[in-house]
Amino acid sequence: MALVLYRKWRPQTLSEVVGQEPVTRTLLNALATGRVAHAYLFFGPRGTGKTSTGRILAKALNCLQNETGEPCNACEMCLSFNEGRAVDLIELDAASHTGVDNIRELIEKANFMPTAAKYKVYIIDEVHMLSTSAFNALLKTLEEPPPHVIFILATTEVHKVPATITSRCQRFDLRRIPLPAMVERLQFIAQAEGIIADPEALTLIARAATGSLRDAENLLEQMVVHHGLRIETDLVRRELGLTGGSRIRELAKALLTADIPAGLALINAVAADGLDIRQFNREFVEFLRSLLLVKCGAEEMANLGAEELADIKSSISRIPLQKIARAIKLFAQADFRYAPQSTLPLELALVDYASEEGKETGLQSEPPKKPIASPPPATEPEPAEKAAPTPPIVQRIAPPPDGSPIEHIQAHWNDFIKACKGTPGQLDALLRGSCKPLAIEDETLILGFFAKSKFQKSKVEDHRYLTVLSGKLEEVFGKRYMVRCVLIGEENRPPPPPLTQSRMVKEALDHGAQIVNEEYIR
């Protein structure tokens, strides 16, 4: 079956564009009243209709019998656009043509009148990929556009487009396509193509596409190519190996086992695939919520299939309810206001969760609870929960008069990390287990971060953290050092302490336990 569904079913009018009503309505209004801008910027996740909308706009602007705002799709001009032979529509993929020469060449041509159409329309896709000099060349034309030229810029990463460019464009934000609209479109296509699909199968496909209609159409096509025209729910579930859905489950697993490297890799893979990271987080929180509901025994509210429910039940059987609740809080509070497409809020939530987790696993040298049999302590110990937020009292660790300063810092590094508790941005969590002091050169402390702790290094290198770190070094070691971070091999990571050093293990051995196997969980 030789068809590329997303091309074949590309919308030909603005009203056919799925799930972007606010944008298409505004454009229709502008077209109907002849208020045309010279530069448009379409921003949105991949597969949400940016270039499709741009092409329809270009066609509508040049349609010979446009009365309502929509292109007629019947005149010679519309036909030339639909058949891909309109010479006055120039498309450039900035991802593969980033250089200034490409833009110069394009802009030189902009000064010539259109060959056949009223307007010469330039669509520059992934415009954020242009080089700085290419942006500057584009800016000159945007400042004084020839009257017959219209620019349509499209991007998935609007924050990388210079403000001088965006301020000269009329901007439209395309949203991820809502699930019902996507399912409806898939149903329409399936019917037209003679595909027999369970409604639930189409819903799964739409959900897996996380808001990208192109992804959904490609998935549907993949199903047809592999399995023919009959598409059943179970089949879809099995095929959806590599989509957001499975990533969400993998991230949940990495999170609940406090596997930071795996979690960070997943979050970044999602971003690299161009998925909307906020939407991914929403779905992730929604998934964690279903874990919570199952854990509470309210599984009928979780909206899960029988198979998935069984899977989830077994995977969370050993995870306490409070941990799931804490994970939900951290991820639900991920703040994207300052960086809508950044992975950082999720990375921070993950690290926050895992570093709290580290405190509970007993690998830190916190005093263990008294065994029940021991005599009552003289004073009532404060409950651990309450003690946690109080910053510890900082004790000055003065260097021995004749010792080497670096050896002194190395020897007291763990105490230093403890003293960092309560600092802004949880410096202690970033330092713990991620680095070690290597040397002092010209009053600068060289901190070596292990290869798998690149994330922590990139955080600590931020000047705000460096300032806090310098201040804390002075407070603890009595001398102000600058700090430089370097990356060192994973082999430099100190081996985990032998189990027998853990007080909890000692206690158990004293009570007659035997060690049968050692497994180190980071």
Q: Which residues bind Zn ion (CB under 5 A)?
A: 63, 71-72, 75, 78
Rounded distance between C-alpha atoms, residue 110 and residue 128, angstroms: 20
Compute the least distance from the CB of residue 64 to Zn ion, in Å: 5
* Distances in whole angstroms, Cα of residue 122 to Cα of each of 55, 59, 97, 148, 301: 10, 12, 14, 11, 50
State the nearest-atom distance from the C-beta of 187 to Zn ion, in Å. Answer: 29
Smallest gap from residue 66 Cβ to Zn ion (A):
6
Cβ closest to Zn ion, residue 78 vs residue 219: 78
Q: What is the distance in angstroms between the CA of the first residue and the CA of the last residue of the chain?
A: 50
The phi, psi pair for 319, rounded to 5°, reads -100, 125
Rank residues 36 and 72 by Cβ distance to Zn ion and give the closer one: 72
Q: Are the CB atoms for 434 and 459 separated by under 8 Å?
A: no
Among 118, 183, 346, 146, which residue's Cα sits nearest to residue 251?
346
Q: Which is nearer to Zn ion, 71 or 448 (CB)?
A: 71
Q: How far is CA 7 from the centre of its chain?
A: 28
Q: Give the pairing type, strands 120-125 and 435-441.
A: unpaired
Chain centroid to CA 383 = 37
Cβ distance to Zn ion smaller for residue 71 or 437: 71
CB of 85 to Zn ion, least distance (A): 14
Nearest to Zn ion of 13, 423 (CB atom): 13
CB of 71 to Zn ion, least distance (A): 5
Residue (117 or 206) nearer to Zn ion, CB: 117
Question: Which residues are bridge partners to 123 per DSSP?
Answer: 91, 152
Q: What is the dihedral of CA 18, 91, 152, 88, to 10 degrees?
A: -110
In terms of CB distance, is 56 or 63 closer to Zn ion?
A: 63
Helix runs in 391-477, H state only: 405-411, 413-419, 427-431, 454-460, 463-477
Query: Minimum CB separation from Zn ion for residue 334, in Å?
Result: 46
CB-wise, 32 or 72, nearer to Zn ion? Answer: 72
Query: What whole-number distance in Å separates Cα of residue 129 and Cα of residue 160?
Result: 8
What does the alpha-carbon distance between residue 344 and residue 319 come to, in Å, rounded to a whole number? 26
Q: How far is the CB of 87 from Zn ion (least distance, A)?
A: 16
Q: Which is nearer to Zn ion, 80 or 203 (CB)?
A: 80
Both structure tokens of 369: 């609870």
Q: How far is the CB of 455 from Zn ion (least distance, A)?
A: 53
Closer by beta carbon to Zn ion, 72 or else 309: 72
b/e sequence 486-495, b meaning 16+ C-beta within 10 Å: eebeeeebee
Q: In what order do the strands lie in the sheet with 444-450?
A: 435-441, 444-450, 482-488
For residues 363 and 360, what is the distance between their CA atoms, to the nearest angstrom?
A: 8
What's the closest the beta carbon of residue 78 comes to Zn ion, in angstroms? 3
How far, rounded to the nearest angstrom, does the alpha carbon of residue 90 sit from its chain's CA centroid? 32
Amino acid identity, residue 430? L
Closest Cα partner for 44 from 273, 275, 247? 275
User: Closest CB to Zn ion among 75 and 482?
Assistant: 75
Closest separation between CB of residue 31 and Zn ion, Å? Answer: 12
Q: How far is the CB of 250 from Zn ion (least distance, A)?
A: 49
